[in-house]
Amino acid sequence: MLVEVPSKAVTSPILTIDLHALARNYRHLAQRTGAAPIAMVKADGYGLGATEVCLRLWREGCRRFFVARVDEGIRLREALPEAEIGVLDGAVPGSEAALTAYSLVPVLNSLEQVDRWRRAAAEAEQLLPAALHFDTGMHRLGIPAAEVHHLSQDPGRIAGLDIRHVMSHLACADSDVVALAGKAEAESADEQVPDSRHQGQASPSEQQLEAFLKLRAMFPQGAASLANSAGIFLDPRFRMDLTRPGIALYGGCPWGQLAANPMEAVATLEAPVIQVQDVPAGATVGYGATWQASHPTRLATLPVGYADGYHRSASNQARVWFGNVAAAAPIVGRVSMDLTIVDIGHLPEGAVTPGTTAELMGAQIPVDEVAANAGTIGYELLTGLGLRYQRRYVDGE
């Protein structure tokens, strides 16, 4: 006999993704930079669903999307037949046929990749699109400055390539935004605050900008881009022709702080309470009994755990929000695989019962707050959201 399995809607927490908020964040960045930014949609659109994210941003006028892996690009191509899709890993060995077949634009990170892609163009007897990624100090990916010099003196090496972008990536844009804001505050208060980190030197971002401008002068073709989300909030020189925001689109604070985030929350994680219980003073909670009630209180259990990407390191640290009484409640004890417990002893009697919805992340509990309480960053939290949630895409009211 077949038994009907309850739908996820009955049993699962809900991850709501507000595509209208995403679109407003995109518009905000486009207005600030004066050009439609490249949308960074790697890791499945920072965990929120690359296809849904890209289709919404396309409607907003976005025509350029970058992913990390070739197969991410292949999957996006179906949804976006006309978009420019860049692949940050570049022309890695064995990727040439797929890059060509799906009209992807590899971000060439080394002379070895340049050579491989030029040979692919020669073999295909067609002009192939490419981006050139210069390393300006992060030493992660990119062609080192000395090699960019060689390349500029050997134009045959990029023959057959249509250079669409010339780019580099900032290592410290977030902390430089914070440092700049601190400096501006000190200056307005007329204080003399020594910049202990840089000792009067140009900031790391300024040094990278200077290095990039020199390399750009050797390769004036295509659009120049340097700024990630945080870079957009440095001074306007960083914006160049195009910018490459990721986290800001998805509602994370570009410089990772809680105060004054200019972006709107996009992802909301909610769960229904599944059990409420009264416990006496001295009762302990969860694995390892890491929390003990100092007085009689009431606890509520939520069906979310680290298997859902709600980090165990948030144990005894993070909080949730009960919208029905507009009040927060702290997580007590350890977050376990499927469950998390909150102390609701301070809330009005009867306010929280099985079925009452708690927000674990969203407009009231910012992603950056949850991340900070779990000892990580919003990027890791979003990209680690599990597959068990019921996902709901909304667009506006």
Ligand X SMILES: *Cc1c(COP(=O)(O)O)cnc(C)c1O
Of 121 and 224, nearer to ligand X (C-beta) is: 224
Q: Is 42 a catalytic residue?
A: yes
The verdict on 73 binding ligand X (CB under 6 A) reads no
Of 14 and 138, nearer to ligand X (C-beta) is: 138
Decide if 390 contacts 15 (C-beta within 8 A).
yes
Judged by CB under 6 A, which stretch of 11-19, 188-196, 246-254, 274-282 contacts ligand X? 246-254
Q: Is 8 a catalytic residue?
A: no
In the complex, least distance from residue 340 CB atom to ligand X, rounded to whole angstroms: 27
Of 138 and 283, nearer to ligand X (C-beta) is: 138
| Token pair 């690009």 in the structure block, residue | 73
Tokens of 52: 């849904």
Of 230 and 329, nearer to ligand X (C-beta) is: 230
The verdict on 374 binding ligand X (CB under 6 A) reads no
In the complex, least distance from residue 14 CB atom to ligand X, rounded to whole angstroms: 25
Of 41 and 339, nearer to ligand X (C-beta) is: 41
Of 253 and 374, nearer to ligand X (C-beta) is: 253
Bridge partners (DSSP) of residue 165 are 131, 223
Of 167 and 314, nearer to ligand X (C-beta) is: 167
In the complex, least distance from residue 239 CB atom to ligand X, rounded to whole angstroms: 13
- Binding-site size for ligand X (CB under 6 A) equals 10
Euclidean distance between CA atoms 372 and 128, whole angstroms: 43
| Distances from the Cα of 67 to the Cα of 71, 85, 86, 157, angstroms | 9, 7, 6, 25
Decide if 267 contacts 359 (C-beta within 8 A).
no
The torsion angles phi and psi of 28, rounded to 5 degrees, stand at -60, -45
The verdict on 247 binding ligand X (CB under 6 A) reads yes
In the complex, least distance from residue 290 CB atom to ligand X, rounded to whole angstroms: 33
The verdict on 169 binding ligand X (CB under 6 A) reads yes
The verdict on 88 binding ligand X (CB under 6 A) reads yes
Give the residue at shortest CB distance from ligand X: 246
Hey, which residues between 226 and 245 contact ligand X (CB under 6 A)? 228-229, 244-245
Euclidean distance between CA atoms 90 and 186, whole angstroms: 43
In the complex, least distance from residue 27 CB atom to ligand X, rounded to whole angstroms: 16
The torsion angles phi and psi of 300, rounded to 5 degrees, stand at -125, 140
Decide if 280 contacts 293 (C-beta within 8 A).
yes
In the complex, least distance from residue 215 CB atom to ligand X, rounded to whole angstroms: 15
Q: Return the residue of 40, 85, 131, 360 that touches ligand X, per CB under 6 A.
A: 40
Minimal CA–CA distance to 86: which of 204, 207, 210, 169?
A: 169
The verdict on 256 binding ligand X (CB under 6 A) reads no
Q: What is the identity of the amino acid at 345?
A: G
Rg (CA), the chain: 24
Euclidean distance between CA atoms 305 and 383, whole angstroms: 15
Euclidean distance between CA atoms 251 and 272, whole angstroms: 24
Q: CB-based burial of residue 24 (10 Å sphere; 0-12 exposed, 13-18 middle, 19+ buried)?
A: middle
In the complex, least distance from residue 244 CB atom to ligand X, rounded to whole angstroms: 4
Decide if 259 contacts 237 (C-beta within 8 A).
no
| Strands in 71-113 per DSSP E | 84-87, 105-108
The verdict on 22 binding ligand X (CB under 6 A) reads no
Euclidean distance between CA atoms 348 and 380, whole angstroms: 35
Under 8 Å CB-to-CB from 72, ≥6 apart: which residues? 41, 42, 43, 44, 50, 87
In the complex, least distance from residue 229 CB atom to ligand X, rounded to whole angstroms: 3
Which of 42, 250, 310, 379 is catalytic? The answer is 42
Of 177 and 329, nearer to ligand X (C-beta) is: 177
Hey, which residues between 319 and 348 contact ligand X (CB under 6 A)? none
Helix (H) or strand (E) holding 130: strand 128-133
- Catalytic positions, written as ranges: 42, 287
- The site for ligand X (CB under 6 A) is made up of 40, 88, 169, 228-229, 244-248
